[in-house]
Amino acid sequence: MTLKQDFPPLPEALPAPVVDNHCHMDIVRDGHEALEPAEALALAGSVGVTRIVQIGCDLPSARWAVEAARTHDNVIAGVALHPNDAPLHQDLDAAIAEIEALAMAHDKVRVIGETGLDFFRTGDDGRAAQQESFRRHIDLAIRLDKTLQIHDRDAHDAVLEVLDQEGTPDRWVMHCFSGDADFAKRCLDRGAYLSFSGTVTFGNAGDLRDALAITPKDRILVETDAPFLTPTPHRGKTNSAYLIPVTMRAMAAVRGVDLEELCLQVNANTEAAFGGTW
């Protein structure tokens, strides 16, 4: 299959299937090419990435995610207001109400996320809205028995403080885990799954590799966050679910384990984290 110029070549296929548990097939990076969803899914499947969790992060993309899950057998959906989106809503109640309706629209909507806190892009004036939105999403995940998927950027302590106050659902994921080994332990003590992305391949990500090394094998997930966070050596190109094998091989090296063994474990972990097969 011929790939567009913006995309890296297909990697060697994985020896066993895995799931990309956080992907944005609807997002097109400024000035970059895009893949059609069917093309992205076919490319991913050709290298062993057989299922995808499509994540909505505002109302339009949440609606898109639900439709993608309805359309494609190997896709489930997550719906939420991204923490950077939450302060933009003058009527947060109405926006959360629509997220709740979307969460109940189909049984393949299994995720409330990505929600959380982002102190990198949102300043002090927007943080109260972020916190309120995060609390409301936690409540949704608990009431609706959905998996909570958390975005945390430069807000480690604040995220855990809110979770300690509100409680956690039975299943919750730290999306694109970005902390060190100490923060990993604090999340794991509260029952988290830790999801590792292409950032684990970056040269300056030693702390992140330390976190991966100490994470119990039954708590590890993998994701792309595509079209962002393209793994080394393809940084600068557009990310897609078919690049999961690059990240998985790096993760196996960090763990010192057989790649097939890690694939089988991550696949089982993903089903446990997201409520079974699909």
- Whether residue 151 is annotated as binding a ligand: the answer is yes
- Whether residue 223 is annotated as binding a ligand: the answer is no
Q: Which pLDDT value is given to residue 191?
A: 98
Helices first, then strands: H and E counts in the chain: 9, 8
Q: State the pLDDT confidence band at 122, using cuts at 50, 70 and 90.
A: confident
268 to 16, 22, 174, 218, 264: CA distances (angstroms): 11, 16, 17, 8, 6
Q: Phi then psi for 245, rounded to 5 degrees?
A: -55, -30
Whether residue 12 is contained in a domain is answered as no
- Whether residue 24 is annotated as binding a ligand: the answer is yes
Q: Which pLDDT value is given to residue 1?
A: 60
Whether residue 205 is contained in a domain is answered as yes
Whether residue 8 is contained in a domain is answered as no
pTM of the predicted model, to two decimals? 0.96
- Whether residue 114 is annotated as binding a ligand: the answer is yes
- Whether residue 225 is annotated as binding a ligand: the answer is yes
Whether residue 167 is contained in a domain is answered as yes
Q: Which pLDDT value is given to residue 234?
A: 97
Q: What percent of the chain has pLDDT over 70?
A: 99
State the CATH number of the domain containing residue 147.
Answer: 3.20.20.140
Whether residue 4 is contained in a domain is answered as no
Query: In whole angstroms, what separates CA 64 from the centre of its chain?
Result: 16
The mean pLDDT value of the chain amounts to: 96
65 pLDDT higher than 90: yes
Whether residue 255 is contained in a domain is answered as yes
Q: How many structural domains is the chain composed of?
A: 1
| Structural domain that includes position 206 | 18-27+35-273
CA distance 166 to 39: 40
4 pLDDT higher than 90: no
Whether residue 72 is contained in a domain is answered as yes
The mean pLDDT value for 157-167 works out to 98
153 to 141, 219, 228: CA distances (angstroms): 21, 20, 15
The mean pLDDT value for 57-68 works out to 98
186: left (phi over 0), alpha (psi -120 to 50) or beta: alpha
| Rounded-to-10 torsion of CA 236, 30, 92, 128 | 50
CA distance 168 to 150: 11
Whether residue 181 is contained in a domain is answered as yes
